[in-house]
């Protein structure tokens, strides 16, 4: 590439840039395709996409918004873990500390809480978009199924997080859900033992808190992250986002 001594050249046309990205600044079709194929994070997307894919009125960006909320939740969630101890003696006070003692702690908590509500809503909206555009049909049947599992995972991620503040809202909401699990028939055998496994005892207490915590911060996010990876990979393998048949 010829040096032109512009600011853009100074930023993009140097050895450091090249050492990181392994190609020139993407301003022609060759380097633009390299921008996608030589980047670990981008190569899950194809070099070229159909114009229908980038039409905002088609996907409404709903799947992507779900994904972004998941990312924001992961980051704010890790930060919250620095301040939160899953013990029934401390959990509630840690929430108070986040609000009154930790700098910007309340913003952190709000981002996580509203982001979680948002994710439940947007995953649902995304499912509606896929249905109303017929995006679940062959060859995307399996990805639709993965999507359903992701929706359920999202609900359980939200639910397990709901107990962690250990306030009245949390305690009684989880008690209701635990009782619901207890009604799986036959109640005295399956229901009772399922409830016992989920709560870790007869009543919602310390055992329930640590179980919900471990599910919330490790097990469910890990499974969700892997499945989101599969979901994206399948979008590409299924030929990109659905679109009207061409003439």
Partner 1 sequence: MDKKPEVVIFPKNPSKTYGLMELIRTRSFQIEKGPDNTVTSWPHLLFREMILFMFVFIVLMIISILFNAPLEEQANPSNTPNPAKSPWYFLGLQEMLSWAHPFWGGIFAPTVVTIILILAPYFDRSQKGVGVWFAPERKIANLLFTILVVLAVGLIVIGEFFRGPNWQLFWPWNMPSPH
| Nearer to partner 1 among residue 6 and residue 139 (C-beta) | 139
Piece of the chain touching partner 1 by CB under 8 A; list 3-11, 13-21, 173-181, 227-235: 173-181
Out of 86, 143, 198, 211, which residue is the one contacting ligand HEM (CB under 6 A)? 143
User: Of the ranges 4-12, 21-29, 212-220, 222-230, which one interacts with partner 1 (CB under 8 A)?
Assistant: 21-29
Task: Measure Cα distances from 67 to 62, 98, 150, 185, 228 in Å.
Answer: 9, 26, 11, 36, 8
Instruction: Name the minimum Å distance from CB 94 to partner 1.
Output: 11
Kindly report the backbone phi and psi dihedral angles of residue 116, in degrees, each rounded to the nearest multiple of 5, phi listed first.
-65, -45
Rounded Cα–Cα distance for residues 71 and 244 (Å): 31
Alpha-carbon distances of 51 from 26, 29, 244, rounded to whole Å? 19, 16, 11
Per partner kind, with CB cut-offs from 5 to 8 A, the member of ligand HEM, partner 1, none near residue 160 is: none
* Binding window for partner 1 (CB under 8 A); candidates: 2-10, 12-20, 45-53, 223-231: 45-53
- Asked if 73 is part of the footprint of ligand HEM (rule: CB under 6 A), the reply reads no
In whole angstroms, give the CA distance from residue 131 to residue 153.
19
Alpha-carbon distance of 196 to 182, in angstroms, equals: 8
Segment 88 to 127, residues that bind ligand HEM, using CB under 6 A: 123, 126-127
CB 51, min distance to partner 1, A:
5
Q: Residue 58: phi, psi to the nearest 5?
A: -85, -65
Identify residues 223-242 at the interface with ligand HEM (CB under 6 A): 228, 231, 235, 241-242
Alpha carbons 219 and 230: distance in angstroms, whole number: 17
Q: Are 91 and 163 in contact (CB under 8 A)?
A: no
Query: Reduced to 3 states, what is the DSSP secondary structure of residue 17?
Result: helix
Question: If contact means CB under 5 to 8 A according to the sort of partner, which of partner 1, ligand HEM, none does residue 197 touch?
Answer: none
Residues 218-247 that bind partner 1 (CB under 8 A): 242-246
For residue 170, state whether it binds partner 1 (rule: CB under 8 A).
yes
Residue 70 interaction partner, one of ligand HEM, partner 1, none, beta carbon < 5-8 Å per kind:
ligand HEM
How crowded is the C-beta side of 83, counted as CA atoms within 13 Å?
22
Name the residues that contact ligand HEM, by CB under 6 A: 59, 61-64, 66-67, 70, 123, 126-127, 130, 133, 135-136, 140, 143-144, 147-148, 150-151, 154, 228, 231, 235, 241-242
């Amino acid at each position: 590439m010829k040096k032109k001594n512009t600011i853009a050249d100074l930023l993009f046309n140097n050895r450091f840039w090249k050492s990181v990205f392994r190609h020139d600044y993407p301003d022609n079709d060759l380097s633009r395709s390299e921008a996608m194929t030589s980047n670990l994070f981008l190569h899950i997307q194809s070099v070229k996409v159909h114009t229908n894919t980038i039409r905002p009125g088609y996907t409404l960006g709903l799947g992507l918004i779900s994904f972004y909320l998941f990312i924001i939740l992961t980051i704010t969630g890790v930060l919250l873990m620095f301040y939160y101890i899953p013990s029934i003696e401390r959990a509630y006070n840690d929430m108070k500390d986040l609000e009154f003692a930790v700098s910007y702690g309340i913003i952190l908590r709000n981002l996580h809480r509203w982001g979680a509500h948002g994710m439940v809503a947007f995953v649902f909206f995304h499912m509606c978009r896929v249905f109303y555009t017929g995006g679940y049909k062959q060859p995307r049947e399996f990805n639709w199924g993965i999507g359903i599992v992701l929706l359920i995972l999202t609900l359980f991620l939200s639910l397990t997080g709901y107990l962690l503040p250990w306030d009245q809202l949390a305690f009684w909401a989880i008690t209701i859900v635990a009782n619901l699990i207890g009604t799986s028939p036959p109640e005295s055998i399956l229901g009772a033992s399922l409830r016992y496994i989920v709560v870790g005892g007869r009543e919602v207490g310390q055992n329930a808190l640590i179980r919900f915590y471990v599910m919330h911060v490790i097990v469910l996010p890990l499974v969700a992250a892997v499945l989101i990876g599969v979901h994206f990979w399948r979008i590409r393998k299924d030929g990109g986002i659905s679109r009207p048949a061409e003439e």
